[in-house]
Structure 1
């Protein structure tokens, strides 16, 4: 089990303050506050976890870029789009759904509406990562939410990525959209639980 480096400050600060409050505090208030801080630090440790994933083989397989629950399968400009909701209990690292080359990473400032709102995918703050492959382009959108106030991309234009490779992180509850090229078949339905780098969400025909 690994942990995202962006989470260390969220983990260590409350843990250290909590331990100091319990060890040095002489009143019940300090003991309670210390316990709360330790629980907060442990939750952040859980939130920023980065478990090992077993990447399926298959050149035409399209993998889920995130953990979460499929909340919509739709079509835009004749291309399939899958929207996935991430709760605070899901792993929040994103992975590349395919092997390819990063064509662009575009940051779009915006609002922080709850991810479940229909318009959130178009008006909320987000990173739009476009991946080029010989068989078409894929778009992964890291979308902020009411709790997720920062989207982090670990790739840049020109980078080569492998299928299932870590490409970014969203902090605290959010949404991820993935757009397929034409001709791809969707393999999941609304309500399905998906796992980044492991669940096959589509396949090229």
Structure 2
């Protein structure tokens, strides 16, 4: 599990322990279930990366919903369902030269 997910697992477990102390087992069970889901959500399984030259590996698990040519190059959209691993990786070797935030609007995860 990635370290960023620890608070999302530990806090529900502490709440579950508090409910268990008072014998409120249903609520304790619900929070243990929430902690287990969060541990599943923030998992980071090992990946075997292909060693072939000139290939690009997907940056994320999920379903490729769109591949198209755009003004600045290729656009690839990958939809992550709640059961997919929510970790983004670098699909090619490179160097980050600029980080820029573009304010957007709330749209369905399936839209491009």
* d(CA) in 1 for partners of 2:72, 2:40: 39
* d(CA) in 2 for partners of 1:113, 1:66: 20
Q: 2:82 aligned with 1:88, yes or no?
A: yes
Question: Is the partner of 2:30 in helix, strand or coil?
Answer: helix
Matches for 1:156-195 after TM superposition, within 5 Å: none
Using structure 1 for the length normalisation, give the TM-score.
Answer: 0.51
| Residue equivalent to 2:6 | 8
| Residue equivalent to 2:61 | 67
| Cα RMSD after superposing both structures | 1.6
Q: 2:95 aligned with 1:98, yes or no?
A: no
| Residue equivalent to 2:19 | 21
Counterpart among 23, 36, 50 of residue 42 in structure 1 = 36
| Structure 2, unaligned runs of 5 or more | none
* d(CA) in 2 for partners of 1:83, 1:73: 7
Greater relative CO (CA pairs within 8 A, separation 6+) = 1
Using structure 2 for the length normalisation, give the TM-score.
Answer: 0.89
| Residue equivalent to 1:117 | 111
Q: Deviations over 1:83-134 (max 9, x none)?
A: 110011111111111112112222223323221134xxxxxxxxxxxxxxxx
**CA shift at 1:78, angstroms?**
7.1
* d(CA) in 2 for partners of 1:17, 1:52: 31
* d(CA) in 1 for partners of 2:44, 2:16: 24
* d(CA) in 1 for partners of 2:81, 2:17: 28
| Structure 1, unaligned runs of 5 or more | 119-205
Question: Is the partner of 2:66 in helix, strand or coil?
Answer: strand
Moved over 4 A (4+): none
More strand by share: 1
